[in-house]
Amino acid sequence: MQYVKGLYNYADTGKSAVTFGKFDGLHKGHQKLVENVKRQSEKENISSVVCAFDMQAKELLMMKEERKECLAQEVDYLVDCAFTKEFREIEAEDFIRDIVAGVFHAAYVVVGTDFRFGYGKRGDIHMLKAYEAQYGYELIVIEKERYDGQIISSTYIKEVLKEGKIDLAGRLLGYPYRVSGIVEHGKQLGRTLGFPTLNVVWPEQKIVPPKGVYLCRVFMEDRAYNGIANIGIKPTVSDEKKVRIESFLFGYSGDAYGKEIRIELLEYVRQEQRFPDKEVLKNCVQNDIVRGKRYFGIE
């Protein structure tokens, strides 16, 4: 896959199958759009394109690097389109002429039923349908994906995450909610308690589920490890306000400092709390580890 930063830096002059949207989280609904783009591109031997609008939101389900990683083997191009004032003020008809046809030379346009575009969100699927013949593309409208009768959307998944329903969030996303980062040196507290942890700073823009302990799976250097993770600020031993995720891996004893890891959250265990002393903290962590090993079937 080629990553293109900036709408007008897309330079492929061939025909394409293209989809548009924010694609925050690349949840099951987004995956339907991507799958259809792939299918049309393979059938016609044309380029497959995801054009993602960068809204500069503060609470994201997915960072840009994560989105690139998820789409790397799925499409030919990921185009990162900054949602600037200039872009917002493009008239809907101009969006079709200059972007759908002009930039992407679209043979197929794949969007959801509620897709809106152009100044004042005047453009919709009916307008796209009306201009099909003039600009030579075929519009494919994909119905919303649902779970238990509820439409799957990034907004709904964020609500679910804030409630601590991490397993439900995973079902809506189609994969476990995850975070990636570089392992940093911490205060070595876990090591002194007998539970050495991998310490990663939580990205500022990424939505934080309830602080506390989770069962997790950690990927490092093409290997997967089961374990438990704590998201929080360590109130028992620190006044620091920066959110971190610290993972204790079952069966791992190496040096991970400076390595990039991906942590997938599987189940919420308990909320973060302040303990009266380190000994009480240690006993609680031991109980968390016992629960984790039982969950993963580890003796």
For residue 179, give the nearest of 201, 159, 163 by alpha carbon. Answer: 201
CB 280 within 8 A of CB 203: no
CB 75 within 8 A of CB 37: yes
Contact predicate 225/198, CB 8 Å = no
- Residues 59-69: b if buried by 16+ CB within 10 A, e if exposed: ebbbbeebbee
Alpha-helix residue ranges (DSSP H) falling in the chain = 28-44, 64-71, 85-88, 92-94, 125-130, 132-135, 154-162, 166-173, 189-193, 278-296
Residues of the chain with pLDDT under 70: 186-194, 234-240, 276-277
Do the strands 178-182 and 260-271 form a parallel or antiparallel pair, or are they unpaired? antiparallel
pLDDT of residue 55: 76
Q: Which domains does the chain have, with CATH numbers?
A: 2-150 (3.40.50.620), 176-296 (2.40.30.30)
User: What does the block give as tokens for 97?
Assistant: 């002429």
Q: What is the pTM of this model?
A: 0.90
Render pLDDT for 118-157 as a digit per residue (tens, 0 to 9). 999 999 999 999 999 999 999 999 999 999 999 999 999 9
Q: What is the pLDDT of residues 178-190, one digit of tens each?
A: 999 999 986 655 5
Cross-strand partners of 248: 228
Per-residue model confidence (pLDDT) at position 282: 80
Give the other-Cβ count within 10 Å of 80's Cβ. Answer: 18
- Alpha-carbon distance of 154 to 265, in angstroms, equals 17
CA 124 centroid distance within chain: 26
pLDDT computed for residue 190 by the predictor: 54
